[in-house]
């Protein structure tokens, strides 16, 4: 998950963990790109408005990568 809002990240992480899913968190596009390009994930949750850019651009960059 890439989201800079700590409370939202915490809530979503708790819900996913409760259902048995392991989650990683990042709060910037830079960190999110690093995690997503070095690990294999079944799902990515991206915030659109991040401090260093747009989550939609991150999604496109990951697809291109």
Per the listing, tokens 């968190």 go with 25
Mean pLDDT value across residues 14-28: 95
Range of the domain at 42: 6-64
Residue 54 is predicted with a pLDDT of: 92
Per cent of the chain over pLDDT 70 is 100
Model confidence pLDDT, tens digit, residues 46-56? 999 999 999 99
* CATH number for position 49: 3.40.50.2300
pLDDT at 38: 95
Residue 56 covered by a domain: yes
Write the CA distances from 39 to 5, 8, 32, 45, 59, integer angstroms.
22, 23, 11, 15, 15
**What is the tally of structural domains in the chain?**
1
Q: Would 1 be classed as within a structural domain? A: no
User: Is 60 part of a structural domain of the chain?
Assistant: yes
pLDDT score for 1? 95
């Amino acid at each position: 998950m890439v989201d800079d809002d700590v409370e939202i990240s915490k809530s979503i992480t708790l819900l996913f963990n409760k259902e048995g899913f392991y989650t990683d968190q990042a709060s910037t596009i830079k960190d999110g790109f690093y995690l997503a390009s070095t690990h294999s994930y079944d799902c990515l949750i991206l915030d659109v408005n991040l401090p260093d850019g747009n989550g939609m651009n991150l999604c496109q960059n990951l697809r291109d990568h």
